[in-house]
Amino acid sequence: MTIIEIPVIYGDGIGPEITSAVLSVLDAAQSNSSLKLVWIPVAAGLSALAEGDELIPQRTLDEIARCRVALKGPCATPVGEGFTSINVKLRKTFNLYAAVRPVRSIPGVETRYKNVDLIIIRENTEGLYSGVENEVTPGVVMSMKVASEVACRRIAKWAFRFANRRGRQKLTVFHKANIMKLTDGLFLKTASEVHVNDYPNIDFESNIIDAGCMKIVQDPTKFDVLLLENLYGDVMSDLCAGLVGGLGVVPGANFGDDLSIFEAVHGSAPDIAGRNIANPLALLMSAVMMLNFLAEKLQLPALSQRATSIKMAYDKCLIDGQKTRDLGGQMTTSEFADAVIANL
Ligand code: ATP
């Protein structure tokens, strides 16, 4: 029996309910198999604080470092001073510099556009998420936007390599280099250099972020791979989610050189937490990304077969109109998970 251990952060808000739903599907998909994924629950977020622990306990960091992979529900960070965002801390601790968010039209989910197929690649460690903020003088505060040549080039290379491997045709970088000449200027310059020097076979385009958002909303099918610095990537992810049915259907992964954390794009959605109505699909899709990633990394084709069977099962649910409320359906979180399991 091959066993793969995977730390799981259940998270806050809707986190525990969607994570339980997703694990029930993953477990159902692995019954009678000699290849077993074993979940290691680890704490983070408000739930960790409530148990008198740190926001991200050391054991959580140790387990993720040991297993080199994790599945993560959304976590909430208390607002106010003294707490670094959990997501930012995890990304920085493990140097998870590349966030990848595939945004695709979903069968059975009616939206304005039919053939959306975008991949958002977000630089995850710098920009305005540097955490450097200070009070210049009473009443005047400042946030520092950081860009380093190393990180800009690293994410540009990662994005082009990813686009190339996946056979994607075009990469568009978004920036505001007309205003932030140094920071966004560096991001744009390094991306163009990587294109010219290493990947001239891929079409390369640059868009000023504001005009680029308008163009994406007008016709997302004209875009392919999108490369953005940290904050623009955050905003663009939610904008693009709106093109395909909302935050309930956009998965994500954070990659470093040899460690990855898979999580949905959405947050902990406190407005609907604890009511069993959240859509677990974005986290389930993130788990499918994780299975495919592990299949490739560990050379275990059985895992990609498992990923495909889960994808076919949830696609069938959606086509049959079995959906949660955010997609216009009536199902609860657990009913949707049960319907996916029934289709496996
Ligand atoms: P964060 O700042 O952590 O990214 P956010 O402020 O963007 O979080 P979310 O928690 O992502 O907010 O929620 C935004 C909106 O989308 C909320 O109205 C929430 O109810 C809805 N939403 C988010 N995730 C889901 C989901 N899985 N199913 C249904 N609705 C969701």
Between the CA of 247 and the centroid of ligand 1 the distance, in Å, is: 6
Q: Are residues 41 and 116 both part of a single domain?
A: no
User: What are 102-158's pLDDT values in tens digits?
Assistant: 999 999 999 999 999 999 999 999 999 888 889 999 999 999 999 999 999 999 999
What average pLDDT is seen over the chain?
Answer: 95
pTM of the model: 0.95
CATH label of the domain that carries residue 91: 3.40.718.10
pLDDT number for residue 273: 97
Of 244, 264, 285, which residue sits at a domain end? 244
Q: Count of CB atoms within 10 A of residue 121's CB? A: 24
pLDDT number for residue 103: 98
d(CA 343, CA 310): 8
Domain annotation covers residue 152? yes
Which three-class secondary structure state does DSSP give residue 99? strand
Question: For the chain, what is the radius of gyration of the CA atoms?
Answer: 20
Cα distances (angstroms) measured from residue 38 to each of 181, 182, 288: 48, 47, 15
The answer, yes or no, to whether residue 44 has pLDDT greater than 90, is yes
More confident residue, 191 or 132: 191
DSSP H helices, 103-201, are: 149-165, 183-198
For 325, the token pair is: 């409320």
- The protein residue with its alpha carbon nearest to ligand 1, atom 22, reads 269
Of 185, 216, 244, which residue sits at a domain end? 244
Domain annotation covers residue 107? no
Q: Are residues 239 and 254 both part of a single domain?
A: no
User: What are 49-103's pLDDT values in tens digits?
Assistant: 888 888 899 999 999 999 999 999 999 887 765 677 888 889 989 999 999 999 9
- The protein residue with its alpha carbon nearest to ligand 1, atom 9, reads 267
Which distant-in-sequence residues (6+ apart) come within 8 Å of 5 by Cβ?
Answer: 37, 38, 40, 67
DSSP H helices, 30-148, are: 46-50, 58-67, 86-93
| Dihedral of the alpha carbons of 161, 228, 187, 84, in degrees to the nearest 10 | -110
Which of the four pLDDT bands, split at 50, 70 and 90, describes residue 217?
Answer: very high
Cβ(282) – ligand 1 distance below 6 Å: yes
User: What are 261-313's pLDDT values in tens digits?
Assistant: 999 999 999 999 999 999 999 999 999 999 999 999 999 999 999 999 999 99
Q: Are residues 134 and 237 both part of a single domain?
A: yes
Of 185, 210, 244, which residue sits at a domain end? 244
* Number of domains forming the structure of the chain: 2
Between the CA of 272 and the centroid of ligand 1 the distance, in Å, is: 9
Cβ(279) – ligand 1 distance below 6 Å: yes
d(CA 286, CA 265): 9
d(CA 115, CA 146): 36
Cβ(268) – ligand 1 distance below 6 Å: yes
The answer, yes or no, to whether residue 163 has pLDDT greater than 80, is yes
Q: Say if CB 283 and CB 310 are below 8 A apart.
A: no
Residue 255 domain boundaries = 1-102+249-344
The answer, yes or no, to whether residue 237 has pLDDT greater than 80, is yes
